């Protein structure tokens, strides 16, 4: 199973204790994966479709706990993927249940039924967490931290995407929204924010797995950066040393090192003798020792002399 699938399996086992949180999560699941079955100007049933048996069981339990109603589950085998099933939870709406419809954020108008934002669902912080958990179970995914960091919730309703953004922001998160055809994607890209979101919705095992992989990944990246930096510095030092040796050999062939001032001659001879040494190491070999800047100053004089010869 994928990292996202493991996270959803974990969240499907989380059952809120308070009725308000159960209602918020159920409303989110219905908003994400629900259909309203209407006939003769009235709502007959609410259908929730999912490909996860764990999520289906959770919807069934939430309906029973919140509304004391017995839902029905129908299993349908997918045509394209023979080994996969769809689970349809059918919640029949018998008689006039304005309280049920209002609680779930369903509005009736001129015989039409549609989803609307119900602020009462997310008044409390705990209910906001539950609503985001339901939205993630209904239409979310999170990449494995081994790859690129990405957390998203997809909805087909622009107003709902705005509502999800507002809930993200109430937890000090900074989501972005992109549109893909008829879908609206609310997503996070920063690893710290994804970790915080996993904590908010209660995916603590997934959070720990994410953090473990992220730490190893960041340590590996840091080691690679250090190695690359050291390699670049070594390459730079070697190239500079080769150039300096060629320059000193040019001076030796044309003017002779014995005619140089003693400080320049000492540095030149040491460089020829130790072509792999750094400027700091050359300075420590001199008598008396000279700092890196002093050696660099003498090398520059030799470079200027070689330029004049050329």
pLDDT, one tens digit per residue, over 114-153 is 788 788 889 999 999 999 999 999 999 999 998 899 999 9
Identify whether the C-beta of residue 114 lies closer than 8 Å to the C-beta of residue 106: yes
- Taking only Cα atoms into account, the Rg of the chain, rounded to an integer number of angstroms, comes to 34
In terms of phi and psi (left: phi > 0; alpha: psi -120 to 50; beta: otherwise), the region of 40 is: left
This prediction has a pTM of 0.73
**What is the phi-psi region of residue 153: left when phi exceeds 0, alpha when psi lies from -120 to 50, beta otherwise?**
beta
Q: Which of 130, 129, 179, 131 is nearest to 154 (CA)?
A: 179
Asked if the model's pLDDT at residue 90 lies above 80, the reply is: yes
Q: What is the pLDDT of residue 88?
A: 92
More confident of the two residues 260 and 97: 260
The C-alpha atoms of residue 220 and residue 79 are separated, in whole angstroms, by 44
Q: Tokens in use for 157?
A: 């309703």
Asked whether residue 109 carries a pLDDT value surpassing 80, the answer given is: no
Q: pLDDT by residue (tens digit) across 149-194?
A: 999 999 998 999 999 999 999 999 999 999 988 899 999 999 999 9
* pLDDT digit string, tens, across residues 22-40: 999 999 999 999 988 887 7
Nearest to 125 by CA among 167, 162, 164: 167
Q: Residues 11, 137: contact at Cβ < 8 Å?
A: yes
Who contacts 16 (Cβ-Cβ below 8 Å, separation ≥6)?
Answer: 22, 25, 126, 130
What structural domains does the chain harbor?
A: 3-202 (3.10.28.10), 217-309 (no CATH)
Nearest to 29 by CA among 114, 178, 135, 129: 135
Backbone angles phi, psi at 193, to 5 degrees: -70, -35
195-199: average pLDDT: 96
Span 245-269, mean pLDDT? 86
Q: Is there a contact between 144 and 3 (Cβ–Cβ < 8 Å)?
A: yes
CA 46/CA 36 separation, integer angstroms: 5
Measured distance CA(287)–CA(289) in Å, rounded: 5
**Which pLDDT tens digit goes with each residue over 46-77?**
999 998 999 999 999 999 999 888 889 998 87
Q: How far apart are CA 294 and CA 308, in angstroms?
A: 22
Q: Are 240 and 224 in contact (CB under 8 A)?
A: no
């Amino acid at each position: 199973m994928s990292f996202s699938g493991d996270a959803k399996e974990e969240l499907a086992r989380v059952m809120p204790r308070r009725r308000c949180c159960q209602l918020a999560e159920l409303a989110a699941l219905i908003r994400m994966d629900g259909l309203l079955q209407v006939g003769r100007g009235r709502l007959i049933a609410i259908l929730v479709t999912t490909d996860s048996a764990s999520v289906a069981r959770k919807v069934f339990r939430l309906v029973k706990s919140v509304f004391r109603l017995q839902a029905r589950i129908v299993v349908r085998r997918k045509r394209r993927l023979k080994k996969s099933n769809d689970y349809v939870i059918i919640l029949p709406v018998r008689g006039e249940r304005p309280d049920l419809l209002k609680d779930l954020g369903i509005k009736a108008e001129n015989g039409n039924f549609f989803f609307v934002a119900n602020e009462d669902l997310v008044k409390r912080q705990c209910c906001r967490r539950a609503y985001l958990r339901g939205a993630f179970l209904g239409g979310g995914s999170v990449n494995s931290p081994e790859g690129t960091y990405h957390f998203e919730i997809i909805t087909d309703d622009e107003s709902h995407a705005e509502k999800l953004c507002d809930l993200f922001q109430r937890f000090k998160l900074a989501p972005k929204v992109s549109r893909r055809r008829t879908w609206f994607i609310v997503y996070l890209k920063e690893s710290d924010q994804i970790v915080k979101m996993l904590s908010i919705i209660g995916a603590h095992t997934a959070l720990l797995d994410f953090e473990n992989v992220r730490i190893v990944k960041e340590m590996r990246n840091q080691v690679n950066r250090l190695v690359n930096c050291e390699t670049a510095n070594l390459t730079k030092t070697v190239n500079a040393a080769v150039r300096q040796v060629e320059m000193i050999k040019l001076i030796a062939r044309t003017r002779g090192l014995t005619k140089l001032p003693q400080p320049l001659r000492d540095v030149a001879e040491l460089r020829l003798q130790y072509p792999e040494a750094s400027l700091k190491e050359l300075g420590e070999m001199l008598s008396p020792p000279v700092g890196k800047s002093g050696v660099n100053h003498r090398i520059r004089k030799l470079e200027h002399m070689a330029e004049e010869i050329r």
